[in-house]
Amino acid sequence: MAKHQFQTEIGQLLQLMTHSLYSNKEIFIRELISNASDALDKFNYLRLTDEKFKESDWKGEINIKLDEADNSIAFNDNGIGMNEQDLMDNLGTIAKSGTKAFMEQLTGDSKKDSHLIGQFGVGFYSVFMVAERVDVITKKVGEDQAYMFSTDGSGEYELKPVVKDEHGTVIYIKLKEDEKEFLGKWHVESIVKKYSNHIAYPIILNYTTEETEGEGDDKVTKKVKKSEQINEATALWTLPKSELSKEDYIEFYKTISHGDDEPLTYLHNHVEGANEYTTLFYIPKTAPMDMYRADYQPGVKLYVKRVFITDDEKEMLPPYLRFVRGVIDSEDLPLNVSREILQENRILANIKQGAVKRILGAIKKLKGEDFDRFVDQYNRVIKEGIYTDHTNKETLLEIVRYKSSTEEGLVSLDDYISRGNSEKKEIYYIVGADEKVLRHSPLLEAYKKANIEVLILDDEEVDSIVTPMIGQYKEWTLKDITTIDAPDSKTEEEKEEISKEFKPLTDKIKEVLGDEVKEVKTSTRLTDSPSCVLKDSEDPMAGMAAMFAQMGQEMPEIPLILEINPEHEMIKKLDGLDDKNLFETIAWILLDSAKLSEGLEPKDKTAFSNRIATLAAKAL
Ligand code: ADP
């Protein structure tokens, strides 16, 4: 018998399971059934695609045995099984980055935390919420030797060869003294129904009950062994819609999502024609934890004629729909379809195309609170879609929502259009990292005055990349207000004239500020403020800055352009100012305060406040 040490992270996880996460213990049943079902799926696939494993009379089954006398519960499946190496790899270490992510997400609220267990693929270890000891007795299909893996949930486990006839796995759980509720037939049955009713294999509950026979003095009580199938064991999506209730759909969602939340919406379609397939998709109420991780777990399982093929294929839907959960079941794909084939398969491409259309359709149909919830959770990935999915760009632009300078809450582009100036057909927006700064930007002044709505895009990382490439929506052109003239601005000739008139002044300011700004010029965008700064949009780095940020790198510095408002009192007076020192002070203040309004910092903060003090003293 060989003793092994658990990987450190598992040690921590076990600690957590035994000592903190006990508010929702029953989910260990769901997790073990889910593992057993996966093991059955894997074997089923093998026997159908590989001559070596052909087993014509095999019927996948999950048996649960309750043993009161022994204070134990056991889960038995005739699935693929594990060999010695599998046991060490799958149960002794955590190969996926799952556990680390799991530990990072923990809130300390055990109720919330227990919902995370299923999502992070740490399901097996949930048995330690109820187990004093666990033995995993397992034999891998096609191999001769069976093994037993035993642990009491402390830092070590033992591995030894044992005898077992059939391939598959038994998880034997010696319950803790105070966990006897998991020996009750009704209790276990109701848990299975709650979470696993639509697992596609029969789940059989084996238990002992007392029965009395005879009358009066002849009355004898006997212990009788009983077996009963307790789940529906149908692949829910194969049933016609007309036979399914909302409750059925929600129940199935709980099974596949490892949670007990209801979905925001679901859609079930059977498609016939060039290709025949069924899809059942769910949109979760809460975005999956790993939505922004590169190693996110895809949420859609692929079946071919009801045989499970994979749940690890990210290409089933476009990446921006990675929050969708559900099933695709194709009648036309070959069973032994490889990953390479999947990726360029015409049938799958076809299914995918139809699926995306239907999912977006369902999103558009969401109403009121449900739609708001959707936007709250998924607006950002929808923007990702706008950038990547050209076929459905128009629909995605109908769904996406933005903040607005004139309206409360969030608005759609259609809302904007319905209020906007239909002669010009322009949709104005401004992008930045801080909503408050954007709302107070001097660049908005002219729009406020002219009562023109501007969209406030404060998810800079995404918006600064996505929005410029939108171009048009329903013949309206999107315009970044930092790159265009303000509304009601002067004609080109007038602008020329003003620029000429103020040239001596702008040159003088540039001389004072030196390399701090690329250019100083008269502005056509300002009404109340004396000055504003803009990033030089012609600088080759400007378009790439946000991309740098997204890759976690420092943004390269983009040169600034200082614009001054020729109509402002301060600028007019500055033009005729002789006091050289005072001129310099004010030139710097024009730059630094404009920077502050855009959420940027003055280069020298002490100098800035000294200058303000100088000015204040003069004014007094
Ligand atoms: P997950 O199921 O999310 O991968 P678990 O911790 O529940 O995470 O299980 C770890 C791994 O152990 C599984 O991925 C699987 O490879 C293996 N495993 C667990 N239970 C069984 C079983 N009944 N039969 C075969 N393999 C199993």
Helix locations, 281-367, DSSP H: 339-343, 346-365
pTM for this structure?
0.79
Ligand 1 atom closest to residue 121's alpha carbon, by position in its atom list: 3
**Could you name the CATH architecture of 492-619?**
Up-down Bundle (1.20)
* Per-residue confidence (pLDDT) for residue 556, from 0 to 100: 67
Which residue bears the tokens 């966990």? Answer: 179
* Per-residue confidence (pLDDT) for residue 561, from 0 to 100: 92
Does pLDDT of 176 surpass 60? yes
Phi, psi (rounded to 5 degrees) for 266:
-140, 160
Ligand 1 atom closest to residue 34's alpha carbon, by position in its atom list: 2
How do residues 47-74 score in pLDDT, each as one tens digit? 988 889 988 789 999 999 999 999 999 9
CA–centroid distance, 342 to ligand 1, in Å, is: 25
How do residues 252-286 score in pLDDT, each as one tens digit? 998 888 877 899 999 999 999 889 999 999 999 99
Ligand 1 atom closest to residue 120's alpha carbon, by position in its atom list: 3
- Does domain 2-212+223-231 correspond to CATH entry 3.40.50.300? no
CA–centroid distance, 126 to ligand 1, in Å, is: 12
Helix locations, 267-391, DSSP H: 339-343, 346-365, 368-388
Q: Is the CB of 39 under 6 A from ligand 1?
A: yes
Does pLDDT of 553 surpass 80? no
CA–centroid distance, 236 to ligand 1, in Å, is: 23
Q: Is the CB of 92 under 6 A from ligand 1?
A: no
Q: Is the CB of 74 under 6 A from ligand 1?
A: no
Give the Cα separation of 449 and 161 in Å (integer): 82
Q: Is the CB of 119 under 6 A from ligand 1?
A: no
| CATH 3.30.230.80 residue spans of the chain | 237-365
Alpha-carbon Rg for the chain, nearest whole angstrom, is 33
Confidence at 136, pLDDT banded by 50, 70, 90: very high
User: For the stretch 268-290, what's the b/e string if a residue is b when 16 or more beta carbons lie within 10 angstroms of its beta carbon?
Assistant: beebeeebebbbbbbbbeebbbb
* CATH class of this structure's domain 401-487: alpha beta
The residues near 375 (Cβ < 8 Å, ≥ 6 apart) are 401, 410
| CATH 1.20.120.790 residue spans of the chain | 492-619
| CATH 3.40.50.11260 residue spans of the chain | 401-487
Sign of CA dihedral 466, 470, 476, 480: positive
| CATH 3.30.565.10 residue spans of the chain | 2-212+223-231
Q: Which two tokens stand for residue 29?
A: 């049943």
Confidence at 598, pLDDT banded by 50, 70, 90: confident
Confidence at 116, pLDDT banded by 50, 70, 90: low
Give the Cα separation of 167 and 491 in Å (integer): 84
Instruction: Count Cβ atoms below 10 Å from residue 295 Cβ, excluding itself.
Output: 9
* Per-residue confidence (pLDDT) for residue 474, from 0 to 100: 95
Q: Is the CB of 172 under 6 A from ligand 1?
A: no
Where is 115: in which H helix or E strand? helix 110-119
* CATH class of this structure's domain 237-365: alpha beta
CA–centroid distance, 518 to ligand 1, in Å, is: 61
491, with CB counted inside 10 A (0-12, 13-18, 19+), is exposed
Give the Cα separation of 451 and 476 in Å (integer): 18
How do residues 246-260 score in pLDDT, each as one tens digit? 999 998 998 888 877
